[in-house]
């Protein structure tokens, strides 16, 4: 166990941005389910998906993995078990 990291302002800013991007992606997913030929919406979806990936990558490089079992890279040493845990932030 390494020392407890204290989440700074950027931590919350990045998490908030992730949450916002995820919500837009949910909305566009539901919309595209009924409008599969809306080219503009598909482009917007892909833009947001890409931006979400970039933000997630920045977040993970600074604060550790968001997902497990190979969906996120790990830093060294292994820090999956370090706090803060999702329900602590």
Shortest distance in whole angstroms from residue 63 CB to other proteins: 20
Closest to other proteins by CB, 18 or 66: 18
Contacts with other proteins by CB under 8 A lie at 16-17, 19-21, 23-24, 27-28, 31, 34-35, 38, 40-41
Shortest distance in whole angstroms from residue 12 CB to other proteins: 13
- Unique residue bearing structure tokens 């947001």: 48
Residue 1 and residue 18: Cα distance in Å, rounded?
27
Closest to other proteins by CB, 46 or 74: 46
Residue 46 and residue 4: Cα distance in Å, rounded?
36
Closest to other proteins by CB, 4 or 27: 27
């Amino acid at each position: 166990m390494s020392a407890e990291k204290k989440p700074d302002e950027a931590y919350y800013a990045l998490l908030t941005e992730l949450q916002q991007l995820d919500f837009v992606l949910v909305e566009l997913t539901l919309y595209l389910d009924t409008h599969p030929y809306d080219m503009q919406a598909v482009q917007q979806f892909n833009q947001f998906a890409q931006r979400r990936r970039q933000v997630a990558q920045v977040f993970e490089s600074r604060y550790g993995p968001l997902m497990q079992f190979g969906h996120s890279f790990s830093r060294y040493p292994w820090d999956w078990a370090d706090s803060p845990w999702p329900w602590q932030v």
